[in-house]
Amino acid sequence: MELLSSSTTDTVPPLPPNTQPLEHQIAGHFYGRSHSKYGLLEQKSTGLVLKPFISAPRGPREHQFYVDVFSSGSSAQLRNLRPFLPKFFGTHEFAGMQYLMLENILARFQRPCIADVKIGRITYDSDANTEKKQRLTNNFPAAADIGFQLLGWKTYRSSEKKYVYHHKLCSRSIEKHEIFSALANFFGAPENDHRPVVLAVLERLRALEHLMKDIHSFVFIATSLLIVYEGEQHQSCAQSMPKVDVRLIDFAHVFPVKDEDGNPTKQSDENFLFGLRSYIEHLEIIAHDKFVYLPLEKLNHNESANALSACYTTFT
């Protein structure tokens, strides 16, 4: 079995049969564009997502976490987390590369709007060297205060029949005082009333927070929330509950809790809980009737002067 290397290559690996690059990907390794050229794929016949193993020990560590959660012998706390993870369907190997086979969360949405939100004030583990710690901290310094960072988001504007995608470079340009407007922008502001979708997402987030505070055997570093809602609902489903989903993704830096001697112990993951609760609090503010959306020019990618090269608009 090959593990995805962190080195740069110009060679694009062959696609496994019956697969294609994942549509609507927001962050992470993009097929043909990442340093290794490996990336997230979609199996055409089943719709399952294929995620390549990243370099050891990260890939095997993420695989082991999925096994721990979905095995028949998992603890009650981990079993309770299953509705908040992509379902795990084992592994697939092609041309020496091992892939996780995961549920495609977007499959049930007609026009999915997606955000990737990394949770935690600290997003590096104890193995990170000084350079890596500094680089990750500098990516979005405000995360040290608010406990989360936007890695990117993609929204569907039904009135114009177009998708607008904001890349991580755009997300990192958001200042701390602009976070509320950036969050509301993802949820449809100013074209649509963002509050019903935010309230539906908050319901899922509060349920997740209730479960996570009882997880004492793992710490979740650099794990993300994948937030999804239906982009067509403002036209066809105005009177019904918005269709939303919230899942945890990215477990390459999930570690069993151990004491100083390396023995298993139990403690709350305060870094993750702080970020999750902060994100909930921010959404509660933009869901309030008194919240006023302030447009951000840097998010207007129709203006070439403001557009970042990695962000784009596509019409459907």
* pLDDT at site 306: 44
Q: Which segments within the chain are labelled E, that is strand?
A: 19-21, 41-43, 49-52, 88-94, 97-102, 112-119, 148-157, 162-166, 218-220, 224-230, 244-249, 254-256, 312-315
Our CA angle for 56, 61, 67, nearest 5°, is 140
* CB neighbour list of residue 304: distance below 8 Å, 6 or more residues apart: none
181 within 8 A of 187, measured Cβ to Cβ = no
Q: What domains, with CATH codes, occur in the chain?
A: 19-104 (3.30.200), 109-299 (3.30.470.160)
Instruction: Report pLDDT for 309.
Output: 47
Question: What is the Cα–Cα distance from 155 to 172, expressed in whole angstroms?
Answer: 18
Look at residues 21, 43, 42, 20 and name the one whose alpha carbon lies nearest to residue 30: 21
* Cα(21)–Cα(14) distance, integer angstroms: 11
Q: Alpha-carbon distance 60 to 251, whole Å?
A: 10
Cα separation, 109 vs 275, in Å, equals 27
pLDDT computed for residue 310 by the predictor: 56
Token pair listed for 94: 């092609």
Contact 217, 190 (CB under 8 A): no
CA proximity to 120, closest of 137, 96, 104: 137
pTM above 0.75, yes or no: yes
Determine the Cα–Cα distance for residues 56 and 3; give it in Å rounded to an integer: 7
Q: Which residues of the chain have pLDDT under 50?
A: 6, 235-236, 303-309
Report d(CA 71, CA 88) in Å as an integer: 10
50: tokens are 């294929």
